[in-house]
Amino acid sequence: MVDLLTIKNLAVDFQTRNGTVNAVRDVSVCVKRSQKIGIVGESGSGKSVSAFAIMRLLDSGGKVTAGEVSYNGIDLRRCSEKEMRDIRGRDISMVFQNPRAALNPIRTVGKQLVDVLHQHSLASRQNARHKAIEALAAVKINDPKSCFSRYPFELSGGMCQRVVIALALACNPRLLIADEPTTGLDITTQRSVMELIDELITARQMSAIFITHDLALAAQYCDHIIVMKDGEIVESGEPESLFGSPQHAYTKKLVSATPRPGVELRDLLPPTLSGEPLAKMSVVVPSNKPLLEVKELSKEFNTKGSAFVAVNKLSFTIHENESVGLVGESGCGKSTTSSMLMRLLDSTSGQVIFNGSDLFNTGLREFSKDKRRASLQMIFQDAGESLNPRHNAATLIREPLSHLTNLSRKEIKTRILELADLVGLPHSLLSRFPHQLSGGQMARVGIARAIAVNPRLLILDEPTAALDVSIQAVVLNLLADLRHQLQISYLFVSHDLRVIDLMCDRVLVMRGGEIVEQGGVNQILNDPQHPYTKELLAAAPAPPVKNDSVEKFRQEESDLLALNTVGF
Partner 1 sequence: MAQTIPVVIGVVVISFLLTRALPGDPAVYFAGDAADAASIQQVREALGLDKSMPQQFLIYVGDLLRGDLGQSLSSGQPVLTDLTYRLPASLELTLVALGLSCLIAIPLGVLAATRPGTWVDHLCRVLVTAGVSLPTFFTGVVLIYFFYYLTGWAPAPLGRLDFIYIEPDRVTGFYLIDSLLAGDIETFLGALKQLILPSITLALFTMAPIARMTRSAMISALSSDYIRTVRAAGLSRTTILRTYAFRNALLPVITTLGMVFSFSLGANVLVERVFAWPGIGSYAVDALVASDYAAVQGFVLAMALLFVFVNLLIDLLYSVVDPRIGFADNE
Partner 2 sequence: MSSDLGTASVVATPTQPASYQSQSTLAHIIYVLRDNPVTLIAFIMLSVLVVCALFGHWIAPYDPLATDSSSILQPPSSQHWFGTDNVGRDVFSRVLVATRLDLQISIMAVSLSFVIGATLGAIAGYWGGWIDIVLSRFLDTIMAFPLFVLAMGIVAALGNTVENIIYATAIINIPFYARLIRAEVNLRRDSGFAVAAKLSGNSDLRVLVQHIFPNTLPPVMVQVSLNLGWAILNAAGLSFIGLGVRPPTPEWGIMVAEGANFIVSGEWWMAVFPGLALMFAVFTFNLLGDGLRDIVDPRKRK
Residues 6+ apart with CB under 8 A from 144: 133, 134, 136, 137
Beta bridge partners of residue 224, listed in sequence order: 37
Query: Which of 146/368 has CB closer to partner 2?
Result: 368
Residue 465 near partner 2 by CB under 8 A: no
- Which among partner 1, partner 2, none contacts residue 119 (Cβ within 5 to 8 A by kind)? partner 1
Longest dimension (CA), the chain: 80
Task: Give the residue, chosen from 161, 207, 337, 441, that forms a contact with partner 2 under the rule CB under 8 A.
Answer: 441
- The count of other CB atoms within 10 Å of the CB of residue 65 is 13
Q: How far is the CB of 28 from partner 1 (least distance, A)?
A: 23
Distances (CA, A) of 77 to 34, 63, 67: 23, 11, 9
- Among residue numbers 477 through 496, which ones bind partner 2 (CB under 8 A)? 477-478, 481
Identify which range of 7-15, 127-135, 271-279, 300-308 contacts partner 2 by CB under 8 A. 271-279
Q: How far apart are CA 261 and CA 509, in angstroms?
A: 19
The binding track of 399-428 with respect to partner 2, each residue x by CB under 8 A or -, is xx--xx--------x---x---x--xxxxx
Q: How far is the CB of 70 from partner 1 (least distance, A)?
A: 18
Dihedral of alpha carbons 440, 445, 446, 452, sign: positive
Task: Give the residue, chosen from 125, 304, 409, 435, that forms a contact with partner 2 under the rule CB under 8 A.
Answer: 435
Residue 267 near partner 2 by CB under 8 A: no
Kind of pairing between the strands at 506-511 and 323-327: parallel
Identify which range of 110-118, 140-148, 199-207, 272-280 contacts partner 2 by CB under 8 A. 272-280
Task: Give the residue, chosen from 50, 112, 337, 377, that forms a contact with partner 2 under the rule CB under 8 A.
Answer: 377
The binding track of 3-42 with respect to partner 2, each residue x by CB under 8 A or -, is ---------------------------------------x
Residue 503 near partner 2 by CB under 8 A: no
Q: How far is the CB of 265 from partner 2 (least distance, A)?
A: 10
Residues 6+ apart with CB under 8 A from 101: none
- Which among partner 2, partner 1, none contacts residue 42 (Cβ within 5 to 8 A by kind)? partner 2
Residue 512 near partner 2 by CB under 8 A: no
**Residue 238's closest CA among 50, 37, 6, 470?**
37
Residue 392 near partner 2 by CB under 8 A: yes
Query: Which of 4/109 has CB closer to partner 1?
Result: 109
Residue 253 near partner 2 by CB under 8 A: yes
CB 164 within 8 A of CB 93: no
Kind of pairing between the strands at 376-379 and 457-461: parallel
Q: How far is the CB of 350 from partner 2 (least distance, A)?
A: 22
Identify which range of 27-35, 75-83, 214-222, 379-387 contacts partner 2 by CB under 8 A. 379-387
CB 41 within 8 A of CB 228: yes
Amino acid in position 269: L
Beta-sheet strand order (sheet of 376-379): 376-379, 457-461, 489-494, 323-327, 506-511, 514-520
- Eight-class DSSP state of 258: S
Residues 6+ apart with CB under 8 A from 420: 393, 397, 426, 427, 429, 430, 448
Q: Give me the residues that bind partner 1 (CB under 8 A), please.
A: 55, 57, 60, 85-90, 93-94, 96, 98, 101-107, 112, 115-116, 119-120, 151, 153-154, 164, 167-168, 171, 304
Query: Which of 120/484 has CB closer to partner 1?
Result: 120
Dihedral of alpha carbons 382, 194, 48, 8, sign: positive
- Eight-class DSSP state of 77: T
Query: Which of 98/355 has CB closer to partner 1?
Result: 98
Q: How far apart are CA 304 and CA 395, in angstroms?
A: 41
Query: Which of 107/427 has CB closer to partner 2?
Result: 427
The torsion angles phi and psi of 351, rounded to 5 degrees, stand at -135, 145
Task: Give the residue, chosen from 9, 15, 20, 43, that forms a contact with partner 2 under the rule CB under 8 A.
Answer: 43
Identify which range of 107-115, 398-406, 487-495, 526-534 contacts partner 2 by CB under 8 A. 398-406
Q: How far is the CB of 211 from partner 2 (least distance, A)?
A: 18
What is the chain's percent helix, strand, coil content, to nearest 5?
40, 25, 35
Helices (H), 283-353: 334-341
- Among residue numbers 157 through 216, which ones bind partner 2 (CB under 8 A)? none
Residues lying near partner 2 in the complex (CB under 8 A) are found at 42-44, 253, 269-270, 272, 278-279, 342, 344, 365, 368-369, 373-374, 376-378, 380-382, 385-390, 392-394, 399-400, 403-404, 413, 417, 421, 424-428, 430-431, 433, 435-436, 438-441, 446, 449-450, 468, 470-471, 474, 477-478, 481
